[in-house]
Chains A and B, each alone.
Chain A
Amino acid sequence: MSIGQLDVETLCAWVDALARAETVYAPQARGDRFVYDRLRRAEDLRLDHDVTLLPPKKYFLPPRERLAQFDGTGAARSVLDETPFVLFGVHPYDVAAIAQADAYYLKENPDAHYAARRRGAVIVACDVQAASSSVFAACMGTAVAREGFDLLLTRVDGAYVADARTPAGEALLARAGRLSKADAVALGRREQVWQDALKFLRRHELKCRPADLPGLLTRSYEHAAWEKRSERCHSCASCVLVCPSCFCFDVQDDTGWDLCSGERCRRWDACLLRDFALVADTTSARTAWSAIVTASTARASTCTTASASWPASAADAASPPAPRALPIPSSSTTPCWRTDHAGLRLRRGEGPLPFAAGRPAAQDPCHRPRDAL
């Protein structure tokens, strides 16, 4: 697969062409924050975003999604959204989260609705240029993406190294036209970008290895910390809903006024909401269980069943995307980060980040988007 170099002019022309021809979702400013949204033109693209309000999971598992439609006769039809799209500018930790969602939704009992969206997605990752004030990616090993994307962009000396890792990424990059070869210097600088990311994208430290976390959590089930946390928890589930790696959902039906036609929808749900584990007799499985015994007298009735498979059965689902090869980056030279940091402090006296702490200025009319690239 090829590695090329794009100057900002070429990048903009390429993104503009993509935005015209394809459905492109990318980080953009909304008010004084960043969101992933439909990209219409290159000048709205903010590759210098720090963190977005919602992670890109919303394009694979939308906050609200129609799973099936019922017609007036009660017959059901699965709804699959197979519109292809380009997800542009994804940070490495979000790439890791998408890989986690893939493992969850595509491996055992693949989810047809997720798979349909995932199949049509081309992921253009982008190394972090502006650090979120609470970034902890490096301590979780997700500051640099090694796999899980089709194309990786890294800002190096005012230009971008574009690294295609899959045929889809290759095809996308080919549309950039005149692509100069990334020379050894640029690749060396990119390596330095990665080294810096590993070093600096850690505003929080983990006092153990990430792999130890599951075991620690299991053993800490009765830890006083949970009680303390729960005293201060609103059960508003905000933490779970914005989390890139939380994937629970609820399914509900609604009908038209004929009470026959209608739809089955799923919506993000969260284990921190009070009713999450509620069973039909309205006792939560997590609080005291009341007996499920209020037996009714058995009497016979006959029903026939449609051999229904909605939401779409596992059989409808496609196989997960193929694993990707992992070229190991080599050599290292001097850092090439933008240095217009906003004076954020690191713990342990490591000095300021070589990352811009980016936030869009609040509805700044003088915003010059080109500077963002």
Chain B
Amino acid sequence: MGKPRVAIFDFACCEGCQLQIVNLEEDILGLLGLVQPVEWREALSDRSDEYDIAIVEGSITRAEDEERLRGIRKRAKLLIALGACATIGGVNKLKNACDMEDVRRYVYGRAAAMPHLATEPTRALDEVVKVDYKIHGCPVSRRELGAVVRSLAMGVEPVIPNYPVCVECKLRETVCRYEYNEVCLGVVTRGGCNAPCPAGGGWCYGCRGLVDDPNVNAARDVMDKYGRTPADLQRRLALFNSPGAVSCPKS
């Protein structure tokens, strides 16, 4: 049995998650021992339409993106969403609260009318096609990326955590950011990242998306307890997790 053929594609994103693959450093040899990349714009000049696994980065913001993604889905036996833009829409979804024409003008100014700059509300991959596995994060963690690839190579389901970031803050003895008057999204955000942002003195930005079935009532309670409002939480959530709820600057 030959190694599975892997193709890596990108849509609207910063390509930072693909860079995490390149940055596997010596581990990349291990990765190449398990899979054979056949298309990878960031690292290969080859192209191929014959592949088993598609790893897709970025979100879908244009009609032609949607068409291309559907083609990838058709050819791939397995489709993996790589990084926040692909798994939840990520930062790209910020614009969904705005009028698309405004967005276009604001970003591209006088060039906005050019046909290739057309834009639509952002969608995560699974809002367009079936996604088999999601590697969350902005950017994805190399450790988790490796674990998912190895699980799939062994033919078993990868373990993707479904507990909030709070768990990992507790395990590494990070004091709750609310104690320092921060609004932290860790309580509703899927863990697995080992909570580096709160540990570094920031707050959780929610880049791994929400846990399954977050408790909204509880979130409201936490806000009350620390003298914050649900709107404070909403504003923070909008960065990675909301299709709306932010005001858009006018150009």
User: What residues of chain A have their CB less than 8 Å away from a CB belonging to chain B?
Assistant: 30-33, 35, 53-54, 63-64, 231-238, 241-242, 252, 254-259, 267-268, 270, 273-275
Query: Is A257 in contact with B31, judged by CB distance below 8 angstroms?
Result: yes
Whether a CB of chain A sits under 8 angstroms from the CB of B235 is no
Given A31-B175, A241-B171, A274-B211, also A257-B166 (CB < 8 A):
no
How many angstroms between the C-alpha atoms of A53 and B175 in the bound complex? 8
Query: Is A33 in contact with B166, judged by CB distance below 8 angstroms?
Result: no
Q: Which of B155-207 contact A (CB under 8 A)?
A: 159, 162-164, 166-167, 170-173, 175-176, 186-188
How many angstroms between the C-alpha atoms of A259 and B31 in the bound complex? 11
Interface centre among A32, A267, A273 (most CB of B within 10 A): A273
Query: Is A274 in contact with B171, judged by CB distance below 8 angstroms?
Result: no
How many angstroms between the C-alpha atoms of A30 and B159 in the bound complex? 33
Query: Is A237 in contact with B163, judged by CB distance below 8 angstroms?
Result: yes
Offer 7 A-B interface pairs, CB within 8 angstroms, sorted by A. A53-B175, A232-B218, A233-B215, A234-B164, A234-B187, A274-B212, A274-B213
Query: Is B166 in contact with A238, judged by CB distance below 8 angstroms?
Result: yes
Question: Would you give the 0/1 interface string for B131-147, flagging 1 where the beta carbon is closer than 8 Å to chain A?
Answer: 00000000000000011
Chain A nearest Cβ from B19, distance in angstroms: 20
Query: Is B170 in contact with A241, judged by CB distance below 8 angstroms?
Result: yes
Whether a CB of chain A sits under 8 angstroms from the CB of B4 is no
Query: Is B33 in contact with A254, judged by CB distance below 8 angstroms?
Result: no
Given A234-B164, A236-B164, A237-B163, also A54-B30 (CB < 8 A):
no
How many angstroms between the C-alpha atoms of A242 and B166 in the bound complex? 11
Residues of chain A within 8 A (CB-CB) of B34 are 257, 259
Residues of chain A within 8 A (CB-CB) of B176 are 238
How many angstroms between the C-alpha atoms of A84 and B25 in the bound complex? 37
Main secondary structure on A side of the interface with B: loop
Residues of chain A within 8 A (CB-CB) of B29 are 257
Whether a CB of chain A sits under 8 angstroms from the CB of B1 is no
Query: Is A268 in contact with B175, judged by CB distance below 8 angstroms?
Result: no
How many angstroms between the C-alpha atoms of A54 and B167 in the bound complex? 12
Given A234-B222, A257-B150, A259-B153, also A53-B164 (CB < 8 A):
no
Query: Is B173 in contact with A231, judged by CB distance below 8 angstroms?
Result: no
Given A231-B218, A259-B150, A274-B213, also A236-B187 (CB < 8 A):
yes
Give the interface residue-count category, chain B.
35 or more
Whether a CB of chain A sits under 8 angstroms from the CB of B98 is no
Query: Is B217 in contact with A232, judged by CB distance below 8 angstroms?
Result: yes
How many angstroms between the C-alpha atoms of A233 and B173 in the bound complex? 21
Whether a CB of chain A sits under 8 angstroms from the CB of B248 is no
Residues of chain A within 8 A (CB-CB) of B162 are 274-275
How many angstroms between the C-alpha atoms of A270 and B164 in the bound complex? 12
Query: Is B30 in contact with A256, judged by CB distance below 8 angstroms?
Result: yes
Residue of A nearest to B169 (CB): A238
Residue of B nearest to A259 (CB): B154
Query: Is B33 in contact with A257, judged by CB distance below 8 angstroms?
Result: yes
Could you say which of B31, B146, B166 contacts A237, with CB atoms under 8 Å apart? B166
Query: Is A53 in contact with B173, judged by CB distance below 8 angstroms?
Result: yes
Chain A nearest Cβ from B173, distance in angstroms: 4
Question: Would you give the 0/1 interface string for B212-250, flagging 1 where the beta carbon is closer than 8 Å to chain A?
Answer: 111101110110000000000000000000000000000
Residues of chain B within 8 A (CB-CB) of A238 are 166-167, 170, 176
Whether a CB of chain A sits under 8 angstroms from the CB of B99 is no
Residues of chain B within 8 A (CB-CB) of A258 are 30, 33
Residues of chain A within 8 A (CB-CB) of B147 are 254
Query: Is B166 in contact with A236, judged by CB distance below 8 angstroms?
Result: yes
Residues of chain B within 8 A (CB-CB) of A32 are 175
Residues of chain A within 8 A (CB-CB) of B49 are none
Residues of chain A within 8 A (CB-CB) of B221 are 232
Whether a CB of chain A sits under 8 angstroms from the CB of B27 is yes
How many angstroms between the C-alpha atoms of A215 and B218 in the bound complex? 29
Query: Is B27 in contact with A242, judged by CB distance below 8 angstroms?
Result: no
Residue of B nearest to A362 (CB): B180
Could you say which of B27, B172, B188 contacts A234, with CB atoms under 8 Å apart? B188
Chain B nearest Cβ from A333, distance in angstroms: 39
Residue of B nearest to A33 (CB): B175
Residue of A nearest to B163 (CB): A273
Residues of chain A within 8 A (CB-CB) of B186 are 236
How many angstroms between the C-alpha atoms of A254 and B154 in the bound complex? 11
Chain A nearest Cβ from B197, distance in angstroms: 16
Chain A nearest Cβ from B242, distance in angstroms: 19
Interface centre among A53, A54, A233 (most CB of B within 10 A): A53
Residues of chain B within 8 A (CB-CB) of A275 are 162-163
How many angstroms between the C-alpha atoms of A54 and B172 in the bound complex? 9
Chain B nearest Cβ from A68, distance in angstroms: 17
Chain B nearest Cβ from A56, distance in angstroms: 12
How many angstroms between the C-alpha atoms of A268 and B30 in the bound complex? 29
Query: Is A257 in contact with B212, judged by CB distance below 8 angstroms?
Result: no
Residues of chain A within 8 A (CB-CB) of B170 are 54, 237-238, 241-242
- Inter-chain pairs besides A64-B171, A267-B171, 20 sampled, C-beta below 8 Å: A35-B173, A54-B170, A63-B172, A231-B217, A232-B215, A232-B221, A233-B215, A234-B164, A234-B187, A236-B166, A237-B166, A237-B167, A254-B150, A255-B154, A257-B30, A257-B33, A258-B30, A274-B163, A274-B211, A275-B162
